[in-house]
Structure formats: structure tokens, C-alpha cells
Structure 1
Amino acid sequence: MIIVIPIAVILLWALFQSYHEVTDDAFIGHFGPIKKRVKLEDIRLVEFSYNPISSPAWTLKRLSVTDSQHHTYLLSLPKEEDKFREVLQQQCPKDTIRI
């Protein structure tokens, strides 16, 4: 029980606190206690990934965000894919958006 309860709390937290934000200068992916932030100016590629390894997500269809230093972040897909794509294309017009 000592191990199960903390894991259950983290999973419930992630279930109710998973979302994405695009601010004026950054893309932020929230998955419960995990928060990944990528500056919009550093984004070079956004595409789909079906890699189940080492990624906080509820589904196998995920976003792969690669920055200018070749770091790749795997994130869950937002609910409103079309709106998310439009925002990224407006904020990052020089980058490759394949979603």
C-alpha cells in the first residue's frame, strides 16, 4: 500500500491536470506533476509519434516536438488538434509542422 497509494495519486493528478498551453513565447505541455516547456523560437519540427517509450501520455498517438538543439519531447496529443495546429503554424511559421 505504501507504493500503490502514491502512484495512484500521481495518476489521478495526471488524469485531471493534463493539458497544453501556447503562450506568447513558449509551448508548455502539462501531464500532472510533469511539465515540459519549449520556447517557440527553438521549435524546429512538430510531428506525430507512435513511440510508446518514455513519454507521459494516455494514448499511443503523441506529439514529437524537436527543438533547435535537437532535443525531442514526446507529449500527449491535445484534444483540439486542428486548433493546436493553427496556433503553432501562426506562432512558428518558419518551422515544419506535420500534424
Structure 2
Amino acid sequence: MKYSSKKDWWLTVIVFGGMIFAIGSSGMAVFEDTPNVGETIVALLVPILLSFFILWLWLTTYYVIDDKNLIVRYGPFKKIIPFYSIKSVKKTMNPLSSPALSLKRDEFMDVLAKHCPHAKIIKS
């Protein structure tokens, strides 16, 4: 079964605001100064490519639960975690703890608990 990542509104504002700021500020820098062609290409291309990469991550973050594995996809990255290797799952508010676009993970923990009855599930 496929589960799309929830997306917190505040993270949406930060991500898309950051992309708009990066592209806008590089565009202003190019048009206010008179850089050479190489500087212009770098100044415009880097924030645009970075924004596309972040958008790719944003649109393709999801989780698949099959018979034996948890499969995590985010952009070009894929991680396969066998259920037998999951020893414990702990609720956390740390945004760096997993490839997730939301800090609300309770429902997914419930689904995961059904597939990993041997794992210790800590929700507090």
C-alpha cells in the first residue's frame, strides 16, 4: 500500500518561500550588476536547478508497505527497510529524523505497528 507524505503548512511556506527568494535574489543580482556570461549562467542556473531538485523531493516523497518491507522514496532516493530489521519506532518532532514533510506521524506509526508486531512503538 502506498502512503503519500503529509505536508505541514509551515514547511510549505519555508520551502517555497526559500525557492522564490533564491531565484529572485539571483535574478536581481544578475540584472543589477553587469556580470560576464559565465557568472550570469551560474547565478541563474544554480538556484533554478536547486529549486527543481527540492520540488522533485517535495512531490515524490512517499512510503510503500508491501508484505516484507517498508520502502521509502524521496526524489531520486530509495530506501528499503525490511520489517524484521525494525526494532523500535519512536515519535519525534525532529524534522531531520526521517524523510518526511510533516511532523505529524502518528497514523503512519499505527500502520507500521501492524506490520511490525515485534517492534517497540513509543508514541510519547
Give TM-score, length-normalised by structure 1. Answer: 0.64
Q: What letter is aligned with 1:93?
A: P
- Segments of 5+ residues of structure 1 without an aligned counterpart are 63-76
Matched, 1:10 2:53: yes
Matched, 1:37 2:80: yes
In 2, distance between residues paired with 1:55 and 1:44?
A: 16
* SS, match of residue 5 in structure 1: helix
Q: % of aligned pairs identical?
A: 30
- Segments of 5+ residues of structure 2 without an aligned counterpart are 1-43
Does the 8 A contact of 1:10 with 1:33 survive in 2? no
In 1, distance between residues paired with 2:118 and 2:88?
A: 10
Structure 1 position 51, deviation (Å): 2.5
Q: What letter is aligned with 1:40?
A: F
Aligned pair count? 80
Q: What letter is aligned with 2:84?
A: E
What's the C-alpha RMSD, in Å, of the aligned pairs? Answer: 2.3
Higher relative contact order by CA 8 Å / sep ≥ 6: 1 or 2?
2
Give TM-score, length-normalised by structure 2. Answer: 0.53
* SS, match of residue 49 in structure 1: coil
Q: Which structure's residues are more often helix, by fraction?
A: 2
